[in-house]
């Protein structure tokens, strides 16, 4: 990846985030939160992959964004909602990441075992 790609990716991602912040200030926290999750993450990721690797990669990327991506995202939010009030933002974030890593490890192990059985 060269500096041009890095600059374009940074500007595009930053613009999406700025738009989400703007929407949260004008429409309220609920709408800002919704816009910051789906469009900010998925749109910028798909846009960047499309421009770097073409449209043939998009189905595989889209599939991984939703499964296990969306499930992992929901797990992360659930753990954050539980841990932030009890242990604070830093340890809550660390806890959420650790639980998410365990989930992704188990998911990949399970998917690997299922694909072995199919072959």
Pair 3, 61 in one domain: yes
Mean pLDDT, range 75-94, rounded to an integer: 93
**42 and 73 both lie in a single domain:** no
- Give the pLDDT confidence score for residue 18 in this predicted structure: 84
Residue 14 shares a structural domain with residue 49: yes
| 19-55 residue pLDDT tens | 878 877 888 877 777 776 666 667 777 888 888 888 8
Evaluate whether 47 touches 58 at the Cβ level (below 8 Å). Answer: no
Q: Is the pLDDT of residue 103 over 90?
A: yes
Considering its fold, how many domains does the chain have in total?
2
Query: Among 22, 43, 65, where does a domain finish?
Result: 65
Average pLDDT over residues 74-80: 89
Which has the higher per-residue pLDDT, 66 or 27? 27
Omega prior to 38 cis, within 30 of 0: no
Asked if 1 and 57 sit in the same domain, the reply is yes
100, 72 contact by CB (below 8 A): yes
What's the pLDDT at 116? 65
The residue with greater pLDDT, 119 or 93, is 93
| Residue 76 and residue 60 in one domain | no
**Among 68, 70, 76, 79, which residue's Cα sits nearest to residue 110?**
68
Please give the residue range of the domain that contains residue 85. 67-119
Question: Domain check: are 36 and 83 in the same one?
Answer: no
Are 22 and 8 contained in the same domain?
yes
| More confident site: 19 or 86 | 86
Higher pLDDT, 93 or 50: 93
Handedness of CA 48, 50, 52, 53 (dihedral sign): positive
For a pLDDT cut of 70, what percent of the chain falls above it? 86
Is residue 90 predicted with pLDDT exceeding 90?
yes
């Amino acid at each position: 990846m060269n500096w041009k790609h890095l600059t374009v990716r940074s500007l595009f991602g930053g613009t999406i985030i700025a738009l989400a912040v703007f929407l949260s200030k004008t429409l309220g926290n609920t709408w800002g939160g919704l816009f910051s999750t789906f469009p900010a993450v998925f749109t910028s990721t798909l846009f960047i992959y499309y421009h770097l690797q073409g449209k043939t990669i998009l189905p595989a990327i889209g599939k991984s964004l939703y499964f296990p991506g969306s499930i992992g995202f929901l797990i992360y939010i659930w753990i954050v909602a539980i841990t932030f009030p009890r242990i604070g933002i830093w340890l809550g974030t660390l806890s959420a990441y650790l639980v998410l890593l365990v989930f992704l490890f188990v998911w990949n192990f399970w998917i690997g075992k299922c694909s072995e059985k199919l072959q």
